Structure 1
Amino acid sequence: MQNKKVIQKEVTIENQKTHHVMMNLIESFKAISSSLELDEVLNKIIHFAFNITENADAGYIQLLEEHSNQLIVKSFVGFNDSIKHFKVNVGESITGKVYQEGCECLIGTKNEIYDNMTDLSKDNFSILEQAHNSRNIKSILSIPISFQSKKIGVITLHCFEKEDGLSKSDLILLQSFAAQAAIAIHNAQLHKEVQESLNEVTHLSEKLREVNGLLAKRGDIHNLLTRLSIQNKGLNAIILEMNKMMEKSFVLADYLMGKCVPKYNPHVAKSLDDIFLLFTNKSEPAYVLICDTFETACYIYPIRSGSIFLGCLIVEGHSPLSQLDKLIIEQGAPILSLELMKLRSQTEIMYKKTNEAYQQFLKKRKPQQVEIAAADLGIQIHYFHLTALIELDGSADLHSLENNALLLLNHLKKKIPSENTLLFSYNNKITFFSSSMNTEHEKYLIEIIESSIQLWNQQFTITARSGISTGQYYPGHAEENHIKAEKALLYLKKQKKKGVLHYRDIGISRLFLHHHTEEIEVFLQETFSLLWTEHSELLETLITYVQNNRSMNITAKEIHIHTNTLYNRIKKMEEILELDFNQFEDYLKVQLAVYLYKTFIK
Structure 2
Amino acid sequence: MIEINSKLAQTIVDKMMKVIPYNINIMNNKGVIIGSGDKSRVGTLHQGAVQAIQENRMIEITEDTKYVKKGVNMPIKYEGVIMGVIGISGEANVVKPFGELVKITAELLLSQENIANLQRVKEKEKEEYIFKWVYGYNDYAKEFIEKGKMLHIDILIKRRAVLIQSKKKIKDKENFLKYLSLDEYHITLEEEKLLLLIREDRLEKFIEDIKEEIDLSNYYMGISEEKLNMGRAFYESIDAAEIGIKLNLNNNIIYYENVSYIFSILESKNLGSMLQLGEKFCSKGYEGELTKTFMAYLELNGEMNKIAKYLNIHRNTLNYRIEKIKSVTGKDIRNYSDLINLYLAYVIYVMRNSYYANDQ
The answer, yes or no, to whether TM exceeds 0.5 is no
User: Rg bigger for which structure?
Assistant: 2
* TM-score after normalising by structure 1: 0.29
